[in-house]
Structure 1
Amino acid sequence: MTVISMKSARVGDGLVVPYAEAGYPDGTPVVFVHGLADSWWSFEPLLRRLPASLHGYAFSQRGHGDAGRPEDGYAPEDFAADLVAFLDDVGIGRTLLVGSSSGGVQARIVAGSHPDRISGLVLTGVPATLADKPAMAGIQQAVAGFSDTVPRPFVEDLMAEAVTGGVARGLIETMIDESVKVPARVWQETLRGLLEADLPATLTGILVPTLLIWGDRDAFLPRGDQQAILDAIHGASLLVYEGAGHVVHWEQPERVVADIADFAARISSPGTR
């Protein structure tokens, strides 16, 4: 297993975000982008398993984990701007982006708007849209009733839906701890931004090689979402993990790392789009 180093970067107007770095200096840069209420810890199982061919980075986004918590700036385009600023501050010229869950929204915004900075895009358990999902509206309504913090039992219930099993209890507890760190207002504003945004529009103009990874027991996203992304991004491909839930990289980290490494090798080969 590789060693993880903790560092910090400045994004936006001096906003400080912590990030984890792991892997080998000469490896292909890979930046991991987490979803709502997660943090860099979401990718700890992957960072620990990186092969020599990859050099990984995972940062906690604004309002999440131990990152700064500005009063505003929680729309998808704000998170996307932070992602570009992170690349600039850390000195990453071009990278493979891996976006998980709603983190795939800002990842694909950047892939579409900064193709010179992105060598490829991997989307794991990422929605095509959220406007057609009553469950998300229900979550938004529930979160709207919280004031300072989101109660731990609420987070525990969401976590139980997100995974199907096979995840170490220690990781689950860590991710619950990270989620309850997120102020209720950040949950509320991030959800509002995701539900009000034209998410299908963020799929247009993506020209970089794209790989989708989806668990066929995902309780939040039907297969139709993956097909909609495939239809929107020319040349995109899909890997279906049988028996896996929404957070496939927690349930099958070895396979996810192997598939990312294989994808990175393929897109760097001559003649690959």
Structure 2
Amino acid sequence: MSFDMAYLDNFNHQFYGPENGRKWVFIHGLMGYGQNWRRIISGLEATERCLAYDQRGHGRSFQPETGYAPEDYANDLKQIVDEIGWDKIILVGHSMGGRNVLAFASMYPEYVEKLIVEDIGPEANPKAYEYYEYLLNLAPTPFASRDEARKYFMEDFVKTAKTREKVEVMAQYFYSNMVEKPDGTVDWRFSKHGIIESVKAGHTQERWEQIRGLKMPTLWIRGEKSQELKADIYQRILAENPMIKGVEIPGAGHWVHSDQPQAFIEALKSFVGDF
């Protein structure tokens, strides 16, 4: 990679699709990574140019000690798109990534041609981090081996964890975030400290003003069975700004793009047009 990609080098990232296609950037949720979007991107990459990357503190990207507010994540994206020369993007964010793209669209509206936010609201909740702290602290990391980690998540975790989403789904998700470290032990792929800080910083203040201020066409997607984005908050989001249209996807929980990938792709295509 050339020298002028110095900032992008901090991030594990993938480009897909033809270079002359419209530019899309996909931003994953808390504890996620860029590959979470693979199925959705596979439905677009014949004509669209897509970028997905692991955000700071996540996946295989750099894990700084500080800088986990939505604005920090938004500034990472700004530096990345400036470096690769993308001045107009279609921006998609799930969950915490949805807060981060909302921050980006508020701070740098001139970059965003269209905005898609998946299953997150703008309300504050100073105690939100406690749920994730509880779940992350349940796991007795590091594990001696991958087998030990698998056994823990598939057996003990499933029996004891109190989760909002299906406990089996959460167990699988956590297990997928286990990696072997240089010393042979198996531990979190992400920065545990960074995850907790992200939730704290993302929920310190309400972000209704950002929603009211959006100037670009925006699609807000909710999973019909979501425990994360309550129906009344969702309705209020749609009522706050005429630039926002909503799609509620039947049979999906918080992970809409994973629960109903085809319906999610169709919603994107119908919103963006010209495929």
Which category describes the TM-score, using the shorter chain as reference length? Answer: 0.7 to 0.9
Deviation at 1:187, TM superposition (A): 1.4
Question: What TM-score does the superposition give when structure 2 sets the normalisation length?
Answer: 0.78
Question: Does structure 2 conserve the Cα–Cα contact (< 8 Å) formed by 1:147 and 1:184?
Answer: no
Alignment RMSD: 3.5
1:142 alignment counterpart: 134
Structure 2 unaligned spans of 5+: 144-148, 180-186
Mapped pair 1:212 → 2:220? yes
Q: Secondary structure at the match of 1:196?
A: coil
Partner residue in 1 for 2:254? 246
Q: Which residue of 1 aligns with 2:146?
A: none
Matched length: 253
Kept in 2, the 8 Å contact 1:38–1:65? The answer is yes
1:19 to 4, 13, 27: 13
Give the TM-score taking structure 1 as reference length. 0.79
User: Contact 1:143 / 1:184 at 8 angstroms: preserved in 2?
Assistant: no
Unmatched 5+ stretches in structure 1 = 1-7, 269-273
Query: For residue 263 of structure 1, what is the aligned residue in structure 2?
Result: 271
1:156-191 C-alpha deviation (Å, 9 max, x unpaired): 7689744699x9x9x857744489311221112111
Distance 1:9 1:34, change over 3 A: farther
**Equivalent of residue 125 in structure 1, options 112, 119, 122:** 119
Partner of 1:200: 208
Identity %: 24
Identify which of 181, 189, 200 aligns with 2:189.
Answer: 181
Deviation (angstroms), 1:109: 1.4
* SS in structure 1 at match of 2:61: coil
Change (3 A) 1:49 1:149: farther
Q: 1:224 aligns with which of 222, 225, 232?
A: 232
Q: Which amino acid aligns with 2:231?
A: R
Equivalent-residue separation in structure 2 for 1:26 and 1:46 (angstroms):
19
Q: Which residue of 2 aligns with 1:5?
A: none
Deviation sequence 1:190-246 (CA, Å, 0-9, x none)? 111012133333324111000011111112221122123213332311111111110
Cα offset, 1:150, TM superposition: 8.8
- Residue 125 of structure 2 is aligned to residue 112 of structure 1: no
| DSSP-derived class of the 2:251 partner | coil
Which one is further off, 90-99 or 174-183? 174-183
SS at match of 1:56: strand
- Kindly tell me: are residues 173 and 46 of structure 1, through their superposed partners in 2, closer, same or farther at Cα, counting changes over 3 Å? farther
Partner of 2:43: 49
Q: Quick one: structure 1 residues 9 and 16, their matched pair in 2 at CA, closer, same or farther if it must change by over 3 Å? A: farther
Q: State the distance in 2 between where 1:77 and 1:234 align.
A: 24
Tell me if structure 1 keeps the 8 A contact 2:177–2:190: no
1:68 alignment partner, one of 56, 62, 66: 62
Given that 1:77 and 1:106 are in contact with CA atoms closer than 8 Å, whether structure 2 keeps it comes out as yes
Q: 1:198 to 1:128 in 2, by over 3 A?
A: closer
Distance 1:256 1:207, change over 3 A: same
Matches within 5 A, 1:165-180: 172=173, 175-177=176-178, 180=188
Counterpart secondary structure, 2:221: strand
Q: Deviations over 1:233-264 (max 9, x none)?
A: 32311111111110111122222122212222
**2:26–2:92 contact (8 Å) kept in structure 1:** yes
